[in-house]
């Protein structure tokens, strides 16, 4: 007789996830939800899926948590060496190329969809989408993870070029919130990171402060707090 809890204690950590990155006039904004699951159990409800690669380049991770962490560790290491050798910050394109090489050359072992985004002085803000197979595509905006399926139609209509920082941030938060509403594997809070010439800014958008959509019920004080 099998032990009952096997499925949700032994399943690998997966980040169901919704991730996205958007170019705006002067930089990029990366956004992600914060739910990490092992099967149906939420292993971490406040994870940080936006990882730093260099001072000016960040990475959104989705898919297998382990795979995406290992890839990001390798790329951070290579970029660090590269920056020292070159004597100047690496470009976003270089970061994307390294991520792409690892994803493509190890495609049979890895299961991770990544978005590389950042700012450099040659190309300004850039977003590179690197999905499962190891394609690399520079895009004005990119989405990934299981929750991204619910965003295609929305973004087709809502995205426009040359947005300001405020417009872009609103778009990112609304998109992730919409995905969280419909995708069981995405949830928690919305984290955003803005990267531009001036530097980096991290923001936190609390789960209970996110906009509500069709048929969603407003959060109530948690019974756990009642005493």
Partner 1 sequence: MTSIGTGYDLSVTTFSPDGRVFQVEYASKAVDNSGTVVGIRCKDGVVLGVEKLISSKMLLEGSNRRIHAVDRHAGMAMAGLASDGRQIVTKARGEASNYRSFYGEEVPIGELCDRVAHYAHLCTLYWWLRPFGSSAILGGYDRDGPQLYMIEPSGVAYRYFGAAVGKGRQAAKTEIEKLNLTDMTCRQGVIAVAKIIYGVHDEAKDKAFELEMSWICDESNREHQRVNPSSFLAPLSISSFHSTTYVAF
Binding of partner 1 at residue 97 (CB under 8 A)? yes
Give the Cα separation of 33 and 40 in Å (integer). Answer: 16
- Of 82, 165, 170, 182, the residue at the interface with partner 1 (CB under 8 A) is 82
Contact window for partner 1 (CB under 8 A) among 50-58, 90-98, 160-168, 181-189: 90-98
Q: Is the separation of the CB atoms in 72 and 51 below 8 Å?
A: yes
Q: Is 103 in the site for partner 1 (CB under 8 A)?
A: no
Size of site (CB under 8 A) for partner 1: 14
Angstrom distance (rounded) from CA 146 to CA 165: 26
Question: Quick one: how many helices (H) and strands (E) in the chain?
Answer: 5, 13
* Catalytically annotated residue among 9, 17, 37, 97: 17
Q: Is 60 in contact with 96 (CB distance < 8 Å)?
A: no
Task: Determine if 210 is a binding residue for partner 1 (CB under 8 A).
Answer: no
Residues in Cβ contact with 225 at an 8 Å cutoff, skipping those fewer than 6 apart: none
**Residue closest to 187 by CA, chosen among 60, 36, 16, 35:** 35
Interface with partner 1 includes 98 (CB under 8 A)? yes
Residue 105-134 contact track with partner 1, rule CB under 8 A, x = bound: -----------------x------------
Binding window for partner 1 (CB under 8 A); candidates: 1-9, 43-51, 86-94, 166-174 = 86-94
To partner 1, the closest distance from the beta carbon of 134 in angstroms equals 13
Sign, CA torsion 89/77/32/161: positive
Between 92 and 173, CB nearer to partner 1? 92
- Candidates 51, 68, 94, 186: give the one binding partner 1 (CB under 8 A): 94
Using CB under 8 A, which of 91, 103, 175, 192 touches partner 1?
91
Sequence-ordered list of residues with C-beta below 8 angstroms from that of 101, at least 6 positions apart, any chain: 134
Residue 116: closest CA among 150, 90, 88, 155: 90
* Closer residue to partner 1, CB minimum distance, 56 or 175: 56
Strands (E), 161-225: 190-196, 199-205
**Residue 17 annotated to the active site:** yes
Residues that bind partner 1 (CB under 8 A): 82, 85-87, 91, 93-94, 96-98, 100-101, 122, 136
Catalytic residues: 17
């Amino acid at each position: 007789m099998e032990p009952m809890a096997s499925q949700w204690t032994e399943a690998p950590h997966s980040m169901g996830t919704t991730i996205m990155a958007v170019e705006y006039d002067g930089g990029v904004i990366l956004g992600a939800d914060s739910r990490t699951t092992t099967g149906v159990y939420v292993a971490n409800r406040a994870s940080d899926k936006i990882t730093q690669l260099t001072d000016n380049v960040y990475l959104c991770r989705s898919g297998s948590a382990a795979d995406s962490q290992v890839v990001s560790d390798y790329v951070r290491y290579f970029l660090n060496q590269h920056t020292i050798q070159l004597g100047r910050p690496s470009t976003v394109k270089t970061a994307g190329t390294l991520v792409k090489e690892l994803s493509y050359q190890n495609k049979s072992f890895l299961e991770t969809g990544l978005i590389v985004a950042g700012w450099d002085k040659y190309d300004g803000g850039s977003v590179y989408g690197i999905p499962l197979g190891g394609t690399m595509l520079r895009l004005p905006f990119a989405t990934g993870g299981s929750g991204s399926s619910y965003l295609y139609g929305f973004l087709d209509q809502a995205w426009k070029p040359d947005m300001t920082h405020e417009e872009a941030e609103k778009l990112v938060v609304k998109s992730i919130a919409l995905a969280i509403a419909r995708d069981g594997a995405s949830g928690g809070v919305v984290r955003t990171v803005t990267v531009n010439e001036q530097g980096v800014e991290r923001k936190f958008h609390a789960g209970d402060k996110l906009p509500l959509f069709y048929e969603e019920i407003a959060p109530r004080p948690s019974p756990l707090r009642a005493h």
